[in-house]
Structure 1
Amino acid sequence: MTGLRETGATELDVAARVVELVHEVAGPTAEAEVTVVRHDLALTRFANSFIHQNVAESQVTVRLRVHVDGRTAAGGGSLVDPDGLRALVGRTLAAARLCPPDPAWPGLTPPSAVRSNGLLDEATAYAEPAARAERVRAFVDAVGGLEAAGYCRTSYRSGAFANSAGQAAQGRTTEAAMDGIARTAGADGVARLCAGRLDEVDGSVLGVRAAAKARAAADPVELPPGRYEVVLEPAAVADLLQNLAWYGFNGKRHVEGQSFARPGTAQFDPAVTLVDDPTYGGAMPFDLEGTPRAALTLVEAGTTRAVAHDRRSAAGAGTASTGHGAPGGATFGPIPRNLRMAGAGPATAGGGPGGGAAGPGSGGGPVAGAVADADTAALVAPMARGLLVSDFWYTRVLDPKSLVITGLTRNGVWLVEDGVPVRAVRNFRFTEAYPRALGPGAVLGLGRRPVRQPDRLDGGWWEGPPLRLASWNFTGGASG
């Protein structure tokens, strides 16, 4: 395989050359857009409290989309030598000739300024395995003899874009993440964090939190299904944000009438403000179509303001792209993958990402570790009776228009009485409309400091504070 290092070319050099090749082969009226990204990903995995795998990969991806004679096609490859680029152009143009006419082609992004997000961290971009192993060791040491498993990853992207309309852009970014589980004989505790810099990830703090959760989740009891007041921790809030992004604030679904979102309408509690901010960390400053990326307020103080668009969905809606063009966008639509729910205010002393003192409301009994930070403790303390939920998983959409979701709890649920977690509870199945759960009057409290959770694919993240909600519909218990 021939890569950038061997050719000595930059990503922007390669992108510009592909545009030239399209014009050489298909003529000057052919429209072309090219994205070239170098991606270095390193991952250190551990299980049974030992590192069992350290992997690293460096790859270059060239994505080309052409519009010729009213027909559109896209192709990709990893060879950046002259023969590889010519082959990419040839097969993409051949595909275009076989495609049906594309009357909805939105045209190319015109020349426009793209500003770097300034988030490149050299130490993260070129982190050695030992730097990730240090955090794994700290996590394992901090769980105090419990079984530990998880990963620590670092990522670096350098990319460029060029099109035949004259748009050109470059960017670089880094990301670090850790996701770990501490396990007792009958319970798991989890701690996760995503950041733009590896030195912001503290394995010891995450290990303490995971172990406290695991010990507090031992010997759970079963409660009947029903509606309960809840405090959702940031890991569970991340699932809300992810599903709202995929199915609600997706411009393609909105244009097709499949989204709950109604811009200009107060659909959420006034405490809710949602911003998709790719410039905040982990994402390139331009999208797959070369559109500059900027913070986009989707919900402001409870009122839905916008949905995300790429050029095609924006044309259908009679508006402009918001910089959310992405691979697979023609099928899945433009998805805001850097969604942040604003917190209630400055960080609480002792709280914040990863841990801190449990604070009031945690109690002193066997489930004291159920509340791992002061932010969560402040939301638990006023609850007369309800549930503290660590995490959701296996969530599936039952009704995309109203966004009714079914899923399971995991990694710890606790019954709260008079502001104190009194016992661990066995896992529930739930069926809940996410917009309704966050609707007007439904949010009883909001943590002060959001905690960023890693997406399964690096480059995306979901960041929210813990939430206290008036009602969550649990439809089944451990017995059915």
Structure 2
Amino acid sequence: MTGNELELAGRVVELVRSLGGPDAQAEVWAQHSELSLTRFANSTIHQNVADAATRVRLRLHHSGRTAAGSSTVVDADGLRGLVERTLAAARLCPPDPGWPGLAPPAPVRADAAFDEATAAADPDERAGRVRDFVAAAGGLEAAGYCRTAWRSAAFANSAGQSVHGRSADAAMDGIVRSAGADGVARLASARLAELDGTVLGARAAAKAHAGVDPVELPPGEYEVVLEPAAVADLLSNFASFGFNGKRFVERQSFAEPGAEQFDRSITLLDDAPGTPALPFDAEGTPRDRLVLVDAGVTRAVAHDRRTAAEAGGESTGNQAGSAWGPMPTSLRLAPAGADPAAPNAAAGPVEPRAGTAPPPPAEVAGPAADSDVAALVSGVRRGLLVSDFWYTRVLDPKSLVITGLTRNGVWLISDGELAGPVRDLRFTQSYPRALAPGAVLGLGARASMQPDSWDSAWWTAPPVRLAGWNFTGGAAG
């Protein structure tokens, strides 16, 4: 169906004009998406699924009232029914005094990053990466997935904005188990060719071997080195609660533009051009690189047209068609020494490209095999190396205090060396405070893109060394 989305969106705009009259204003998003997933468990592929869908979303403003609707039935009757239902809903809605109006016509960047090979990937290509992952696990039990996805989307409105874009991405997430210890490796990319199952499987296996027979540690504040998977949880929560324009205008965000809220080593960007993101949002506003934090100073939050009007600014192109609020869904923590203004400034995947020789055994002999992680660990007198966080829940949205658990490997660091595995710990920590001025002791030089359970969200980060992280007990309580 790709290529017809712009025609679909235009047809709905015309139907709104003919059925709703000159007072009706329409925003229409039409998207065709295909997601393919190859899953494995017990070191064997057990499922290969693919889903393709075309969906049209309509937001309509009529006589001072706003309503929205969507449909996956996109023939003539289906589109007409969508418009009629949404018009009827608008008449029943309360007045909408905050209606921000429609996005004016504006060009969007080309989808030059769209990788045709990723969009056309077949099950054999994903299965090959799973085979390599399982082989690299060396007989240990392995599970996970390899997926590919692509989207073709269009937007049109009654003000004349009419744009089209495509995106494609791939991700692999695998876990290896040894005597009850789990090791994980994951990576996302705009190109399936950049996912190497051998490298990821070897890394996960090394972590599993190194995690056997962990010891208990008492609760307390520890210096930590967080691997990119753990840093991705910080970025996801920053996006949802901190740099969300709706929470900002409701005064439920910690963000204070103009204030030095982070360490000077921290630069955060919503880097849509550096990820597989579409080049415009659900309101048709173009998306570009947005600097949220520049050398520790908070500069902006993500806005859609409504929250921008409330804040006295302009939309940053972050409306995702959700009532949750506008969020930066391509959040990137710039690695040490990177030029954040440079195109695709994220250093790319830590792993070598597919087709290269697997690393020698010495490079995957332990959990700190990555050179960036090893360099950060070497400077820690006493602390913890943390692979991953999970089951994180917000306790206080304003200060972004979060509780959660470590996962997939924690190791004690003593005098710059890994002294042995540690049992999982529970933590309670303010995420902004963890990155506050003076609290960041080091960043890796290379960033990697991490997959997320959200649709069309990517978190890119290097490993990070922090002065303190507040652990409150073991995983049991």
Same fold (TM > 0.5): yes
Following superposition, the deviation at residue 139 of structure 1 comes to 0.3
Alignment match, 1:365: none
Counterpart of 2:301, as a letter, is: V
Alignment match, 1:417: 414
1:278 to 264, 272, 275: 272
Following superposition, the deviation at residue 186 of structure 1 comes to 1.1
Alignment match, 2:195: 201
- TM-score calculated relative to the size of structure 2: 0.95
Distance in 1 (alpha carbons) for counterparts of 2:235 and 2:263: 15
Seen in structure 2, the aligned counterparts of structure 1 residues 133 and 183 have a Cα distance that, compared at 3 Å, is same
Corresponding residue pairs, total: 464
My pick for the range that moved more, 277-286 or 126-135, is: 277-286
Q: Which runs of 4+ in 1 moved over 4 A?
A: 354-360
Equivalences for 1:353-432 in 2 at 5 Å? 353=351, 369-432=366-429
Following superposition, the deviation at residue 458 of structure 1 comes to 4.1
Following superposition, the deviation at residue 327 of structure 1 comes to 2.0
Asked if 1:23 is matched to 2:17, the reply is yes
Counterpart of 2:206, as a letter, is: A
Alignment match, 1:334: 326
Alignment match, 2:287: 293
Following superposition, the deviation at residue 359 of structure 1 comes to 8.6
SS in 2 for 1:313: helix
Following superposition, the deviation at residue 117 of structure 1 comes to 3.2
SS in 2 for 1:370: coil
1:445 to 442, 447, 468: 442
1:121 to 99, 115, 120: 115
Counterpart of 1:441, as a letter, is: G
Contact in 2 for aligned 1:188/1:217 (Cα 8 Å)? yes
Distance in 2 (alpha carbons) for counterparts of 1:334 and 1:357: 45
1:41 to 18, 35, 45: 35
Following superposition, the deviation at residue 479 of structure 1 comes to 5.1
Following superposition, the deviation at residue 190 of structure 1 comes to 0.4
Contact in 1 for aligned 2:114/2:276 (Cα 8 Å)? no
Contact in 1 for aligned 2:196/2:351 (Cα 8 Å)? no
Asked if 1:454 is matched to 2:448, the reply is no
Asked if 1:164 is matched to 2:168, the reply is no
Alignment match, 1:96: 90
Equivalences for 1:206-355 in 2 at 5 Å? 206-328=200-322, 331-345=323-337, 352-353=350-351
Distance in 1 (alpha carbons) for counterparts of 2:412 and 2:123: 41
Q: Deviations over 1:73-93 (max 9, x none)?
A: 000001221111101101111
Contact in 2 for aligned 1:37/1:157 (Cα 8 Å)? yes
Distance in 1 (alpha carbons) for counterparts of 2:194 and 2:350: 12
Contact in 2 for aligned 1:356/1:373 (Cα 8 Å)? no
Following superposition, the deviation at residue 48 of structure 1 comes to 0.4
Asked if 1:468 is matched to 2:460, the reply is no
- Give the % identical residues: 66
Distance in 1 (alpha carbons) for counterparts of 2:45 and 2:215: 34
Structure 1, unmatched stretches of 5+, are 363-367
Contact in 2 for aligned 1:158/1:171 (Cα 8 Å)? yes
Structure 2, unmatched stretches of 5+, are 339-344, 353-357
Q: Deviations over 1:209-240 (max 9, x none)?
A: 00000110000000000000000000000001
Contact in 2 for aligned 1:357/1:373 (Cα 8 Å)? no
Following superposition, the deviation at residue 282 of structure 1 comes to 1.7
Equivalences for 1:170-209 in 2 at 5 Å? 170-209=164-203
Counterpart of 2:238, as a letter, is: L
SS in 1 for 2:366: helix
RMSD: 1.8
Seen in structure 2, the aligned counterparts of structure 1 residues 359 and 293 have a Cα distance that, compared at 3 Å, is farther
Counterpart of 2:127, as a letter, is: A
